[in-house]
């Protein structure tokens, strides 16, 4: 498997002609303000295959040309609402140029040219989407090109942060026994971290809004249920759950998943994964869905590593 990275800068606006100005403002907020706003997009493409006689999976010059000609040259310094027919909202099948919808549109253009196994598109550092080939059924191979006329799933991720202190210790053990298990983390007065939290949801991309779910509502849920209750607290004392549960990174991530799963389902999506980074060296990941939807983890790992 190999990956290729590309960048482009584009603007977009969220505004549906069938809604009133008041409805658009309530639905999309600042994202609907004319004439729109821009992002520096980062695209990561993962490709798979065997090595050829030249020791390559693919000729990277050809890959670079395909991405440039089909994506970056067409989108760079352009307004997404105007550049591709998928985003022409005067058409019944037109959709908003969200991160999810843009990722799908890029996939349809690249899939005939290169053997895609995964695609990640960053709209900004704290918002990105992952796309994978549809899982093959027992009777037919998976198509390499998604049909945008049919519902398609995407993995949408948001990133946020909070600062909190904790102490790792089991109350039934002595201080020396806790230090033998948790080391310095068992010291009586605790210590703090600046936690990075990634929340990934899975869902079908709406054929008109281009969204897996209401992004503003998702961000508000995470703020209300996690960031505000956890930020600038001593987790053992200020969050009731951790009065009886050791607040390791694993247990914090599990609790966050429990808090978010049902509310995210209420938005029409499924909580897929919670990743909690405690420090540059430590992170915990909790997959909320079992089984993991034949995710081909290697493809996502390759995308995340770039």
User: Which residues are designated catalytic?
Assistant: 185, 232, 278
**Which contiguous run of DSSP H or E holds residue 283?**
strand 282-287
Q: If we measure between CA atoms, which residue out of 264, 217, 238, 271 comes closest to residue 163?
A: 238
Neighbours of 39 (CB within 10 A): 17
Give the ranges where 71-190 is alpha helix by DSSP (H): 73-75, 80-83, 99-110, 175-182
- Longest pairwise C-alpha distance within the chain: 70
- 43: which strand partners? 6, 121
Do 292 and 132 meet the contact criterion of CB atoms below 8 Å apart? no
**Which contiguous run of DSSP H or E holds residue 261?**
helix 249-266
- Residues 6 or more apart in contact with residue 253 via CB below 8 angstroms: 274, 275, 276, 284, 285, 286
- 118: which strand partners? 46
Here the tokens at position 167 are 């102490």
Buried-state track 264-288, b at ≥16 Cβ within 10 A, e below 16 = beebebbbbbbbbbbeeeebbebbb
Pairing of β 116-124 and β 153-166:
unpaired
């Amino acid at each position: 498997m190999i990956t290729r990275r590309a960048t482009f800068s584009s603007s977009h606006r969220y505004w549906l002609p069938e809604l009133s100005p008041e409805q658009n403002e309530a639905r999309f907020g600042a994202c609907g303000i004319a004439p729109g706003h821009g992002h520096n997009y980062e695209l990561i493409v993962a490709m798979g295959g065997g090595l050829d006689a030249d020791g390559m999976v693919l000729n990277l010059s050809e890959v670079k040309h395909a991405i440039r000609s089909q994506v970056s040259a067409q989108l760079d310094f352009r307004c997404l609402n105007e550049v591709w027919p998928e985003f022409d909202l005067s058409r019944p099948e037109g959709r908003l140029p969200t991160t999810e919808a843009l990722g799908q549109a890029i996939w349809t253009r690249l899939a005939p040219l290169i053997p895609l196994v995964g695609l990640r598109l960053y709209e900004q550092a704290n918002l990105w989407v992952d796309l994978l080939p549809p899982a093959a059924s027992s009777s037919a191979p998976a198509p390499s090109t998604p049909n945008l006329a049919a519902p398609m799933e995407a993995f949408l991720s948001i990133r946020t942060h909070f600062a909190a202190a904790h102490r790792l210790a089991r109350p039934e053990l002595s201080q020396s026994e806790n230090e033998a298990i948790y080391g310095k983390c068992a010291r009586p007065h605790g210590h703090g971290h600046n936690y990075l939290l990634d929340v990934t949801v899975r869902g079908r991309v709406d054929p008109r809004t281009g969204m897996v779910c209401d992004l503003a509502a998702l961000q508000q849920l995470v703020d209300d249920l996690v960031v505000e209750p956890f930020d600038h607290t001593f987790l053992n004392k200020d969050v009731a759950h951790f009065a009886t549960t050791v607040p390791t990174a694993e247990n914090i991530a599990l609790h966050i998943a429990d808090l978010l799963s049902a509310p995210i389902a209420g938005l029409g999506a499924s909580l897929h994964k919670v990743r909690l980074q405690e420090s540059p060296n430590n992170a915990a990941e909790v997959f909320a869905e079992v089984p993991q939807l034949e995710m081909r983890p290697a493809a996502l790992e390759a995308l995340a590593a770039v």
